[in-house]
Structure 1
Amino acid sequence: MSTPRVYVIHENPEWFPPLAAAFAAEGVPVQEVLLTEGQIDLGAEPEPGVYWSRMSASSHTRGHEHSKEYTRAVLGWLERAGRTVVGGSHVLELEVSKVAQHGLLQAAGFDVPRTSAVFGTAPLKEAARTFTGGQDVPFITKHNQGGKGLGVRRFDSLAEFDAYVDSPEFEAPVDGITLLQEYLTAREPFITRAEFVGGEFVYAVRVDTSAGSFELCPADACEVPQVIAGAVCDVPGVEAPGAPAAFSLREEVTSEHPLVQRLRTFLADQGIQIAGVEFMETTDGRTVVYDINTNTNYNPAVEAVAPVSGPRAIARFTGALLERDHAVAAV
Structure 2
Amino acid sequence: MTASPRVFVIHENPEWLPPLEAAFAAEGVPLEQLLLTDGSIDLAARPAPGVYWSRMSASAHTRGNTRSKDYTRAVLSWLEASGARVVNGRSVIDLEVSKVQQHLALTRAGFDVPRTIAVFGRDGLAARAREFGLPFISKHNQGGKGLGVRRFDSYEQFDAYVAGPDFEEPIDGITLLQEYLVSAEPFITRAEFVGGRFVYAVRVDTSSGSFELCPADACAVPGADGTITPMFQVREGFGSDPLVARYEGFLAQNGIEIAGIEFIETADGRRVTYDINTNTNYNPDVEASSPVSGPREIAKFLGGLLEQVPDAAPALAGRSA
Q: Is this a same-fold pair by TM over 0.5?
A: yes
Selected match of 2:272 from 266, 285, 288:
288
CA contact (8 A) 2:7 2:302 kept: yes
Q: 2:114 is aligned with what amino acid? A: P
1:324 positional shift = 1.5
Q: What is the TM-score of this pair, normalised by structure 2?
A: 0.94
- What is the CA distance between 1:122 and its match in structure 2? 1.2
The corresponding residue for 2:58 is 57
Aligned counterpart for 1:223 among listed residues 197, 220, 224: 220
2:235 aligns with one of 244, 250, 266: 250
Q: Contact 1:224–1:234 at 8 Å: present in 2 too?
A: no
Alignment RMSD (CA, Å): 1.6
Q: Distance in 1 between matches of 2:101 and 2:79?
A: 23
Give the distance between the partners of 1:19 and 1:222, measured in 2 at CA: 15
Alpha-carbon distance, 1:328 to partner: 11
> For the Cα contact (< 8 Å) 1:211–1:234, is it kept in 2?
no
Residue equivalent to 1:78: 79
Structure 2: gaps of 5 or more residues: 314-321
Secondary structure at 1:212 match in 2 = coil
1:253 counterpart letter in structure 2: F
Shifted more, 174-183 versus 39-48: the winner is: 39-48
- Per-residue displacement from partner, 1:103-149 (whole Å, max 9, x unpaired)? 010111111000010111111111112x22xx5x1000010001001
What displacement does 1:326 show? 2.9
Q: Which residue is 2:161 aligned to?
A: 164
Structure 2 residue 89 is the aligned partner of structure 1 residue 88 = yes
Following superposition, the deviation at residue 22 of structure 1 comes to 0.4
Identity across the alignment (%): 68
Partner of 1:228: none
Is the contact made by 2:201 and 2:235 (CA closer than 8 Å) also made in structure 1?
A: yes
Matched to 1:167, the amino acid is G
The answer to whether the Cα contact below 8 Å between 1:197 and 1:275 also exists between their aligned partners in 2 is: yes
Q: CA deviation at 1:161?
A: 0.3
Shift of 1:81: 0.3
Q: Do residues 177 (structure 1) and 174 (structure 2) align?
A: yes
Letter in structure 1 aligned against 2:252: A
Q: Report the alpha carbon displacement of residue 237 of structure 1 after superposing the two structures with TM.
A: 4.9
2:296 maps to which of 279, 300, 312: 312
Q: Distance in 2 between matches of 1:237 and 1:221?
A: 14
Cα 1:282–1:236 shift into 2, 3 Å: farther
State the SS of the aligned residue for 1:324: coil
1:45-88, CA deviations, whole angstroms, 9 ceiling, x for partnerless residues?
Answer: 11110000000000000000110010011001100000000010
Describe the SS at the equivalent of 1:259: helix
1:303 aligns with 2:287: yes
Letter in 2 for 1:321: L
8 Å contact kept, 1:9–1:53: yes
Count of residues in correspondence between the two structures: 312
Distance in 2, matches of 1:309 and 1:237, equals: 25
- String of CA shifts for 1:17-67, please: whole Å, max 9, x gaps: 111110011111110110001011112111110000000000000000110
TM-superposed deviation, 1:235:
8.7
CA distance in 1, matches of 2:142, 2:299: 28
Shift of 1:252: 2.4
Are the equivalent residues in 1 in contact too, given 2:4–2:312 (CA < 8 A)? Answer: no
- Matching residue of 1:15: 16
Residue 148 of structure 1 corresponds to 145
The structural deviation recorded for 1:264 is 0.8
Kept in 2, the 8 Å contact 1:199–1:274? The answer is yes
After superposition, the Cα gap between the structure-2 partners of 1:103 and 1:162, relative to the gap in structure 1 and judged at 3 Å, is same
Question: Helix, strand or coil for the counterpart of 2:307?
Answer: helix
Residue type of the partner of 2:146?
G
Distance in 2, Cα, partners of 1:40 & 1:247: 40
Q: Distance in 1 between matches of 2:100 and 2:94?
A: 10
User: Contact between 1:223 and 1:236, CA under 8 Å: does it hold in 2?
Assistant: no
Code of the residue aligned with 1:50 in structure 2: it is V
Which residue does 2:258 correspond to in 1? 274
Whichever residue aligns with residue 100 of structure 1, its letter is Q
Shift of the 328–45 alpha-carbon distance from structure 1 to 2, 3 Å rule, reads: closer
- Give the secondary structure class of the aligned counterpart of 1:326: coil
The aligned residue for residue 135 of structure 2 is 138
Shift of residue 253, structure 1, vs aligned partner: 1.0
Q: Where does the alignment leave 5 or more consecutive residues of structure 1 unmatched?
A: 226-232, 240-244
SS of the residue 1:91 aligns to: helix
Q: CA shift at 1:238, angstroms? A: 3.8
User: What is aligned with 2:48?
Assistant: 47
| Residues 286-324 of structure 1 deviation map (CA, whole Å, 9 limit, x = unaligned) | 000000000000001100111110001001111111112
- Amino acid paired to 1:86: V
Q: Give the secondary-structure state (helix, strand or coil) at the position aligned to 2:198.
A: strand
Q: Matched residue of 2:37: which SS?
A: coil
